[in-house]
Every structure is written in structure tokens, then in C-alpha cells.
Amino acid sequence: MIEKIKFLRNIISVLLVCCATSSCTSNTGGLAFLWSVTHPVDTIEGLSKLPAEKRRQEAYGRAITKCEAEEKLLPQSLEIDSFIDEGAALRGDLIYELLLKRNLKAIYVQPQPTDDGKALRYAYPDGDHIGRFTYPAAIAPKSASAKYIKLELHNGEEGNCLPADWTPLYIQDRYKKPPALPKTCLAYSFTDNPQTQYSLRYNKSQKIAGEQFGTWSIVDLLANQPIASLTTVDLPPSVNSGGPSDCRSPYTVLAWRIKPDPSRRNLFAVKQSIVVASPSFLELIDQKESLPLVQTRTTKTPFVKGEWEAGSSNTALHARWQEAVDEGIRSGVGHYDGQDAGHWFSSDYRIYEGAHGSGRILDWGQRNLIGLQLVETGTQIRTGINWDVSASEGGFLVFTREWKKGENPLVARYNINGSLDWAIQIPGAPVINGCGFGPRQALSTDTEILLKQPSCNNKEGTVWRLPKEDISFYKTQIVKVLNPGTSAR
């Protein structure tokens, strides 16, 4: 008997792949046979005797198993530039991914009523936002039959942006920061005639032991044929949500595979790329004691209430991004200091994962926002340092952020390609103002490098000033330290 069970289990691994094909999907016997031989308890007769909740859980597990086999046979991407969403359960971040980052033209959502019938849902009501991603049902009849709500990107000055009470604040905010261009918004309109060839659609297939199985499919409406399908026990309008490869939500798995032609120009976003610092910042740290010590001049700035907090507020970030784009349009290169993104290398954080600082350079001609990665991804961290990056004069200024008594902070400049221009030490004298122990921003003027600490806690701010001519004076020494055997040009 044991040998027979082992034999049947071996057959299952073959059936799982076989049943992922369209022919088996349409064969009602295939799924029933799969069910009956997987586990003894899962025979149709055995399942029929289980309590309803337990039977549902078992059906859910069988659907996931079959979906995972089918998923392995799916193409990695489905080249689609718009589609109808019949589930109305895409998460807000996936809508953002599809429209902004992947550059879809539009998503036509077939909305679903909320439990109280007073609103229509156009996206998954996740977490604390269960009352959002909806719009009042009363407005729908005003636009023809309004069978679908069309979601697309627009310039906020021209488009019909989603009202603030239709979508959570965190989603609205994402469309105001890079890579979204300023004034971009998620816009809507109503239609009963979607201009698209594809639909993300649910179809019932069969009942087994009283449990309803079905499929989510991407359907080519012109050919009236599915181009990709996954098994599910979803019962729309109740639709599970999950991740890109999570067969608890076959609906979401299919949506994540949608990728339009990458050559189509994106009118609402910039590309984002990373250049790797050479030499790495950790290499500079190893040689810091050999680098020249450049004296600074310190000045104070008056206390301004809220200055410290305002630097990372959404309002300030949106304004800085608009300024960076305006600068890029004028001169070809813009500079953006985004949200506070310094990183602490500690004994508990052994592997560097490639995060970059807050300062980035906008190459407007290429529509490319460039960040600096200071250490190769996967590098073993050998020391502790708190650093950040600012963008200025077409390059990256890197600086130690939290200063420690008795240690000289490191300041360096890398160019737009990631190559080092110079690196120096400056005298370390922590200035404690209740919010931090060092600068939060670096910028370059015609004559100086400025390191700025905002005012905070009723205390003045501080500016450390490094004369550029002093840095130039030490250029030869810097080159010899970092590249022994070479000379400065």
C-alpha cells in the first residue's frame, strides 16, 4: 500500500505540469483526478464529509498547488498596453507600477459595489484604507452607463485627477515624487466602451466536492481566447490579493506579468539609474588618515521654528523636485535632494544592499535621475559610518553625517559617472542642537563647499565652510593617497 501511495505521488508531479496546459484546464476530469490522488483525505468522497470551513481550506490549498504549476509555464511578460480589470482588486501600488513605471496607457476597471451599496470599489481596500479606493455610487449614472472607470495618468493642470477622498494620501503622494514628473496625477473618466484588446477576467470552471473552482485569465478580446490562465477558488466580487508570484492571488500574479512595449516614450516619468562609486566609500574610509586635513570656517544661522522638520516634509520634497526639473529644462542638468536617506553601517547590518543617498542628478536630455551607490551590492561591511549624499554642480557630495568627538569627518566629491574627484578630512567638532550631531546637507558655491545643519530645538543652525582653493591645493596629495604612483593632472 505504501508503495502504491509513493507511485501515485510521483504521478502528481507530472500531472501538475500537464494540467497547466490549456487542454487540461478545460478538462473537468483532470482536476478531479488530481484532487483524488494527492492525499488520501482529499478524495472527493473524503472531502465531502469534511466540515465546510475545512473543505474550503483544502480546496484553497489544491488551487494554489495547481496555480503554482501553471505559473511556471507562463511567459515572463505579457506585452499589453491597456486592459480591462474585471476584478477591481488591484492594489494601489500595483496601479502605480503599471501606469507610471511600466507606462501602460490605461486600466479600465469594472467597479464592484461596497458592502453597503453606497460606493463603488475600483481597487483593493487594503489595510487602514478599507474605506478608500472607492467613489460614490450616486455619481456613476451621470456618465452614460458608466460601466467602467478608466484610470490613466495626466498632467494635473489638464486632467481630471482623482479627488482626494477617493484614494489614500500615501498613494496621492507617490505621484508627486520621482520618478513621476511634477504635476502628474492619477486621472479618471467613465466609459462604457473601453479602447483595449485585453481583459483580466474570471471564469467558473467546475465544482468538486461542493467547492467552486475557476480561472483568472488575460483574454484577447479580438480572438476571444485566453493568452494566460491560472486556477483559483476566488468567488468574485471577493478577490484575494497577494504578491507578484503569490498563487494565493492568481489575479495579482497575472497583473504583475503585464508589461507594455518598453520603447514607448513615457510622458509622465523619468528613468532612474545608479552609478557605483569608484573607489568605494569604504575604501576612502580605510585610507582616511592619509587624506589631507582641510580647515573649515564655521558660521551660525538663526533659529527658524520648524526648519529641521520642514526639510523632509512632503511639501518641501515636492517643491525641490519641481525646482530640479525646472533647472534641468533650463540647463540640461538638475539637482534633487530627496527624502532623508542616510544609511548607518553597523555591526548588525553586515551586507550593503545598494541603497543610495538622498542627492540625485537629473540628466534632462536622457530623462534620467541618477543616484550614487557608495559600495558594491553585497559588500561585507567592515566599519560603522553614518553618511549621506547631496547633489550639486553636476556631481555628488558625500559626507559623514553624525559626527563623533575625536574623529575627523570625511567629505568627498564624485562626478556624474561615479568616479572620485577628491576626498578630504575636516576637523571634527560635533555641534549638538538637540536633533543631530552634524550636517544634513552639502552644496557647492563658486568658492566654497558648504555643509549645513538646520536649526532645531530653539538652537541655531551651523554651516561649515570649506574653501575650494584649499581643496585644489591638496589635489596632488589626494591623488597620491588614492592612486599611488600617479600624479595629479
Task: Kindly state the average pLDDT of the residues 8-24.
Answer: 40
Confidence of residue 20 (pLDDT cuts 50, 70, 90): very low
Task: Kindly state the average pLDDT of the residues 127-139.
Answer: 69
The answer to whether residue 422 sits within a structural domain is yes
Same domain, 257 and 278: no
pLDDT of residue 96: 94
Q: Give the number of domains in the chain.
A: 2
Q: For strands 368-373 and 271-276, give the pairing.
A: parallel
The answer to whether residue 154 sits within a structural domain is yes
**What are the angstrom distances between the C-alpha of 347 and each of 238, 356, 415, 485?**
46, 19, 30, 34
Instruction: Quote the cell numbers at residue 438.
Output: 552634524
* 241-272 as b/e: b if 16+ CB within 10 A: beeeebbbbbbbbbbbbbbbeeeeebebbbee
DSSP string, 155-217: ETTTS-BPPGGGS-HHHHHHTTSTTBPTTEEEEEEEESS---SEEEEEEEEEEETTEEEEEEE
- Are 335 and 362 in contact, with CB atoms under 8 Å apart? yes
Q: Is the pLDDT of residue 8 over 70?
A: no
Report the half-sphere exposure of 445 (CA within 13 A, side-chain side): 10
d(CA 20, CA 144): 41
- Are 359 and 394 in contact, with CB atoms under 8 Å apart? no
Total-model pTM? 0.80
Residue 99 DSSP class: I
Same domain, 249 and 330: no
Same domain, 232 and 304: no
Task: Kindly state the average pLDDT of the residues 52-57.
Answer: 81
pLDDT of residue 489: 42
Q: Is the pLDDT of residue 24 over 60?
A: no
**Which among 235, 253, 269 is the end of a domain?**
269
Q: Is the pLDDT of residue 1 over 80?
A: no
**Which among 269, 299, 330 is the end of a domain?**
269
Same domain, 247 and 281: no
d(CA 306, CA 303): 9
Query: Which tens digit of pLDDT belongs to each residue from 374-418?
Result: 876 656 554 455 778 899 999 999 988 778 777 888 999 999 999
What residues make up the domain containing 142?
Answer: 74-269
The answer to whether residue 8 sits within a structural domain is no
Instruction: Quote the cell numbers at residue 76.
Output: 515572463
Phi, psi of 339 (to 5 degrees): -65, 150
Phi, psi of 251 (to 5 degrees): -55, -45
398: left (phi over 0), alpha (psi -120 to 50) or beta: beta
Same domain, 231 and 101: yes
**Which among 234, 269, 304 is the end of a domain?**
269
Same domain, 319 and 239: no
Same domain, 457 and 476: yes
The answer to whether residue 28 sits within a structural domain is no
- Are 268 and 368 in contact, with CB atoms under 8 Å apart? no
**What are the angstrom distances between the C-alpha of 354 and each of 1, 276, 376, 380, 401?**
54, 9, 7, 12, 18
The answer to whether residue 5 sits within a structural domain is no
d(CA 433, CA 456): 6
Confidence of residue 255 (pLDDT cuts 50, 70, 90): very high
Same domain, 281 and 256: no
Task: Kindly state the average pLDDT of the residues 326-334.
Answer: 97
- Are 241 and 124 in contact, with CB atoms under 8 Å apart? yes
Query: Which tens digit of pLDDT belongs to each residue from 155-169?
Result: 877 668 988 888 888
Higher pLDDT, 97 or 432: 97
Per cent of the chain over pLDDT 70 is: 78
- Segment among 108-117, 307-316, 464-473, 479-488 with least mean pLDDT: 479-488
Residues 6+ apart with CB under 8 A from 476: 487, 488
d(CA 292, CA 427): 11
pLDDT of residue 252: 96
pLDDT of residue 431: 64
Task: Kindly state the average pLDDT of the residues 268-274.
Answer: 91
- For the chain, the C-alpha Rg in angstroms (whole number) is 29
Residues 6+ apart with CB under 8 A from 272: 178, 179, 368, 369, 371
The answer to whether residue 38 sits within a structural domain is no
Same domain, 276 and 259: no
pLDDT of residue 477: 79
d(CA 294, CA 281): 19
Query: Which tens digit of pLDDT belongs to each residue from 79-105?
Result: 999 999 999 999 999 999 999 999 999
**What are the angstrom distances between the C-alpha of 159 and each of 110, 146, 167, 315?**
21, 18, 16, 21
- Nearest CA to 443 out of 435, 451, 431 is that of 451
Confidence of residue 136 (pLDDT cuts 50, 70, 90): confident
The answer to whether residue 35 sits within a structural domain is no
- Segment among 71-85, 248-262, 265-279, 375-389 with least mean pLDDT: 375-389
Confidence of residue 41 (pLDDT cuts 50, 70, 90): very low
Task: Kindly state the average pLDDT of the residues 436-443.
Answer: 82
Give, for 64, the enclosing helix (H) or strand (E): helix 52-71
- Segment among 9-18, 53-62, 415-424 with least mean pLDDT: 9-18
Same domain, 238 and 317: no
Residues 6+ apart with CB under 8 A from 7: none
d(CA 406, CA 380): 26
Same domain, 279 and 151: no
Confidence of residue 433 (pLDDT cuts 50, 70, 90): low
The answer to whether residue 42 sits within a structural domain is no
Same domain, 141 and 281: no
Average pLDDT in the chain: 80
d(CA 480, CA 277): 18
